[in-house]
Chains A and B, each alone.
Chain A
Amino acid sequence: MDMEQIAKQIITFSRDNNEPTWLTTKKSLAWSQVKNKLNENELTMLTKTWIESVKLKANVAKQVQPKFDLSKIVKLDLGVALQIYPELLQENLMEKALAWQADSLSALHLALLTSGQFVYVPSGFRAVRPLMINDKNAANNYHILIIVGAGAQVDLVEQINVAAQTGAYLGTEILLGSGAQVNYYQVDQSKSIQHYQAVHAYQAQNSNLKMYLTLFNRGNQNYDVNIDLDGDHSQATVKMVAIADQEQAQKVTTRINNYGQKTNGVIEQNGVAKDKSKIDFHAVGKIFHGAHGAQSNQHSRLLTLSKQSHGQVDPVLLIEENDVEAGHAASIGKIDEDQLYYLQTRGIDRKQAYYLLTKGFLLPVLNEIPNETLKNKAVAQLQQRLQ
C-alpha cells in the first residue's frame, strides 16, 4: 500500500464531497496516526477494503443549500449534514461518545469514512412513533451520529443489514442531553464475514438510555458497546441477545462507565452458541472516583447447545468509590435435561424441543422491549435466526 497515495485520496474525497475543512484536517490527522500501526493487526485488511469506497467516492454528497433548522427531527445523510450543520458536527462527530483518538480502529474508521447518517432530535421533542434508521446501501465503513436534545423522548430503531463481504465496520454514537429518554433497539442481521460494530453513548445528567441489542448476524463479529454515564443521575440499561452457529465467533464487550454521582448502569448479556460456534461475553462496569452512590450491575448468561460450541463470560467490576452498589452474575450452561424431557413427554421431538428451549432462553429479554410492534418484530427475527 502506498501510504502517501492514500493520504491524497482521503483529501481528494473530502474536498470532492464538500466536507468542511476541519473534517479534511481531522481525517488527515487520523490517517497519519494510524498508518504506522497498520501492520500490527487486522487493520491492513480493513484499509484495503475501505480504501475502495474512498477511491470510488461511494457517497457523493452534492453541494446543498444550507437551510439550518433544528426545530424538528433531522434525519440526513451524513455528507449532507456535514454541509448544513458543520459546527454541530465538528463538536460532536467522533468526539464525545466514540472518540476517534481512542484506538487505531476508530482512527482508521474516521480517516476512511465515506458515508453515514445524522439524526437529531430537538430538545423537549416527544416522538410518538419509533424513528427508523436503516440504510440498505450502507458502505462497509459507516457511521451514525445521533443527538437527542435535553428532555427529548424517542424510540430509535437501527436495522443493520450489511451484505456478505469482508471487513465491515459500523459505528453508532448516541449523545443524550440532560433528561433525555431513549429506547434504542438495534437488530444486526448483517452477513459480512468479518464484522465490527461499535455502539457508544454519552449521557448527560438525568438521562435514561435503554438499549436492546440483538446480534442475529451470520459472520464473525467484534461487537463493542460503551456507555459513559457522565451526568449525575444518568442511567443506562443494555440488554443483549446473541446467537452464533456453525463456525461463527462472536466477541462482545459491553462497558458502562459511571462518572457521575448516583448513576446506574445495568448490563444483561444473553447468548446461545450452536454447532461449533463461540461466544465471548466481556462485561465491564467501572465506577470512577467521585461517582458517589453509583450502581453497576451485570448479568451474563450463555447457553451452549452442542459439545463443540463454547464460550466465555468474563464479568469485571472496577470500583474506585466506597458508597456504591455493584454486583455481577455469570453462567454458562447447557439445555436443562428435565425441561427437555418434559417437552418430549408431550410428543415434541428433540430438535423441536431444543428450538423451543433456546427461544425460551432469549425470549424473556425481547419481551421487555417497550414498543409492542418492535417487540413482535424482534421475536419474529429471533425465530427466523433460529431456523
Chain B
Amino acid sequence: MTLEIRNLHAVIKATDQEILSGIDLTIPNGEIHAIMGPNGTGKSTLAQTIMGYPAYQITAGTIRFDGQDVLQRSVDQRAKLGLFLGMQYPAEISGVNNADFLRAAMHATTPDNPISVLEFMQQLENNMNYLEMDDEIAERYLNVGFSGGEKKRNEILQMMMLQPKLAILDEIDSGLDIDALKVVAKGINHLRSEKFSSLLITHYERLLEYVVPDVVHIMVAGKIVKSGGPQLAQQLEQTGYHKFEVTREFS
C-alpha cells in the first residue's frame, strides 16, 4: 500500500498558475510522514491533488497507490482505493445528517461487506466516546455550525469509521485546544499499524510529539526541499523556514 508520487506538477485550472513544481514523495505502508512548510507553499494543494480536487490540473508526473494509477480515477474511486483526506476546511452540508452521511460513506467504501444498522450504531458510539464527542453531533447536519475543534474531531471520527489505508490529514491540529489535540492524536495512533499509513500536514511540532512521525518533509514553493527524521521538526521550531527558502534559490 505504498503511495508513490513522482515529479508531480500541478496548476490552478482557472489561472494556469503552477503550485506544485515537481513533488517526489514515497510513503511506504505502515509509515507516518509529516509535511511542514510556510503558508501558501502548496501543502493543501498537494493533499487535494492526491484526492482529485477538480480545481487543479496535473501537468506532469504520476501518483500511484498500491501500484494503481491514482490519477486515472475519480474522487470517490480514490476513496474506495483506501485514500482518505481530512480537510483543513471541511465543507458544511445543511440537510445531510452526520450519521446518515457516515453510513452512506461506509456503505460506499465497503459495498461487499455491508454493516448492519446496529453494528454501525455501536461502532459510531464507541468511536465517538473514544474521541470524547457529544452524542448530539451524530444527529446534526454535517459540519453545520460545528466549532473548529468539532469539525476536526468529526474528520477523525470519519477516518476511524472508514478505516482508510492512507489518511492525509491537513492541519488536523490547527484550532484545537491542548486536550482536543491529545484526543485527535489518540485517534490517529489508534489506527497506527503496519496496514495504515498517514501524511500529516502541520505547522506545529506539538502534534508530532504525540504522533511521532517516521519521516518529516519540508516543502517550500511547491517542492520538497528536505526530508529527515522527527528531529527535523524540532530543528524547524528553532530556525524557521528562512534557511530552506534560501537554499532553494541557489539550488
Q: Which residues of A contact B (CB under 8 A)?
A: 336-339, 341-350, 352-353, 356-357, 359-364
Whether A350 pairs with B76 at a CB distance below 8 angstroms is: yes
Which interface class (under 10, 10 to 19, 20 to 34, 35 or more) fits B?
20 to 34
Given A341-B54, A356-B96, also A347-B91 (CB < 8 A): no
User: Mask for B145-162, Cβ within 8 A of A = 1, else 0?
Assistant: 000000000000010001
Whether A344 pairs with B95 at a CB distance below 8 angstroms is: no
Q: How far is the CB of B139 from chain A (nearest CB, A)?
A: 11
Max chain A Cβ within 10 angstroms of own Cβ: one of B51, B53, B54, B75: B75
Given A345-B75, A346-B79, A350-B76, also A339-B91 (CB < 8 A): yes
Contacts of B198 in A (CB 8 A): none
Q: Does B74 contact A (CB under 8 A)?
A: yes
Report the Cα distance A347→B163, complex, angstroms. 12
Whether A347 pairs with B51 at a CB distance below 8 angstroms is: no
Q: Does B87 contact A (CB under 8 A)?
A: yes
Choice from A348, A352, A364 contacting B95 with Cβ under 8 Å? A364
Whether B109 pairs with A338 at a CB distance below 8 angstroms is: no
Whether A360 pairs with B91 at a CB distance below 8 angstroms is: no
Whether B108 pairs with A356 at a CB distance below 8 angstroms is: no
Max chain B Cβ within 10 angstroms of own Cβ: one of A339, A343, A346, A353: A346
Choice from A341, A348, A350, A361 contacting B91 with Cβ under 8 Å? A341
Given A346-B109, A346-B162, also A341-B75 (CB < 8 A): yes
Contacts of A345 in B (CB 8 A): 51-52, 75-76, 78-79, 84-85, 87
Contacts of B162 in A (CB 8 A): 346-347
Max chain A Cβ within 10 angstroms of own Cβ: one of B74, B80, B93, B141: B93
Whether B96 pairs with A348 at a CB distance below 8 angstroms is: no
Whether B101 pairs with A364 at a CB distance below 8 angstroms is: no
Choice from A337, A348, A363 contacting B104 with Cβ under 8 Å? A348
Whether A338 pairs with B91 at a CB distance below 8 angstroms is: yes
Q: How far is the CB of A304 from chain B (nearest CB, A)?
A: 17
Whether B93 pairs with A344 at a CB distance below 8 angstroms is: no
Whether A344 pairs with B74 at a CB distance below 8 angstroms is: yes
Interface residues in B79-105 (C-beta closer than 8 Å to A): 79-80, 84-85, 87, 90-91, 93-96, 101, 104-105
Report the Cα distance A352→B76, complex, angstroms. 11
Given A343-B101, A349-B76, also A360-B53 (CB < 8 A): no
Q: Which 9 A-B pairs have the closest CB atoms?
A: A360-B95, A347-B79, A346-B105, A344-B75, A342-B91, A347-B109, A347-B108, A363-B95, A360-B96
Contacts of B75 in A (CB 8 A): 341, 344-345
Contacts of A360 in B (CB 8 A): 93-96, 141
- Give 26 CB contacts A-B under 8 Å: A337-B54, A338-B91, A339-B91, A341-B54, A341-B75, A341-B91, A342-B87, A342-B93, A343-B93, A343-B96, A344-B75, A345-B85, A346-B104, A346-B105, A347-B108, A347-B162, A349-B76, A349-B108, A350-B74, A352-B108, A359-B95, A359-B96, A360-B94, A360-B95, A360-B96, A364-B141
Report the Cα distance A345→B81, complex, angstroms. 11
Report the Cα distance A12→B243, complex, angstroms. 100
Q: How far is the CB of B243 from chain A (nearest CB, A)?
A: 35
Whether A348 pairs with B108 at a CB distance below 8 angstroms is: yes
Q: How far is the CB of B1 from chain A (nearest CB, A)?
A: 17
Q: How far is the CB of A12 from chain B (nearest CB, A)?
A: 53
Contacts of A353 in B (CB 8 A): 76
Contacts of A339 in B (CB 8 A): 91, 93
Report the Cα distance A362→B95, complex, angstroms. 7
Contacts of B54 in A (CB 8 A): 337, 341
Given A356-B101, A357-B96, also A344-B79 (CB < 8 A): yes
Report the Cα distance A107→B96, complex, angstroms. 45
Whether A347 pairs with B76 at a CB distance below 8 angstroms is: yes
Whether B76 pairs with A348 at a CB distance below 8 angstroms is: yes
Report the Cα distance A345→B80, complex, angstroms. 9
CB closest residue in chain B, given A363: B95
Contacts of B80 in A (CB 8 A): 347
Whether A346 pairs with B108 at a CB distance below 8 angstroms is: yes
Whether A361 pairs with B90 at a CB distance below 8 angstroms is: no
Report the Cα distance A356→B104, complex, angstroms. 9
Contacts of B105 in A (CB 8 A): 343, 346-348
Whether A361 pairs with B104 at a CB distance below 8 angstroms is: no
Report the Cα distance A216→B78, complex, angstroms. 36
Contacts of B101 in A (CB 8 A): 343, 346, 356
Max chain B Cβ within 10 angstroms of own Cβ: one of A338, A345, A353: A345
Report the Cα distance A364→B142, complex, angstroms. 13
Contacts of B91 in A (CB 8 A): 336, 338-339, 341-342
Report the Cα distance A346→B160, complex, angstroms. 12
Report the Cα distance A59→B90, complex, angstroms. 59
Report the Cα distance A219→B104, complex, angstroms. 31
Report the Cα distance A363→B97, complex, angstroms. 10
Choice from A336, A344, A357, A364 contacting B76 with Cβ under 8 Å? A344
CB closest residue in chain A, given B53: A341
Contacts of A344 in B (CB 8 A): 52, 74-76, 79
Report the Cα distance A14→B76, complex, angstroms. 64
Known contacts A346-B108, A359-B95; can you find 11 more A-B pairs with CB under 8 A? A342-B93, A343-B96, A343-B101, A345-B52, A345-B76, A345-B85, A347-B162, A348-B105, A352-B104, A352-B108, A362-B95
Max chain B Cβ within 10 angstroms of own Cβ: one of A339, A347, A348, A364: A347
Report the Cα distance A347→B111, complex, angstroms. 10
Report the Cα distance A76→B84, complex, angstroms. 60
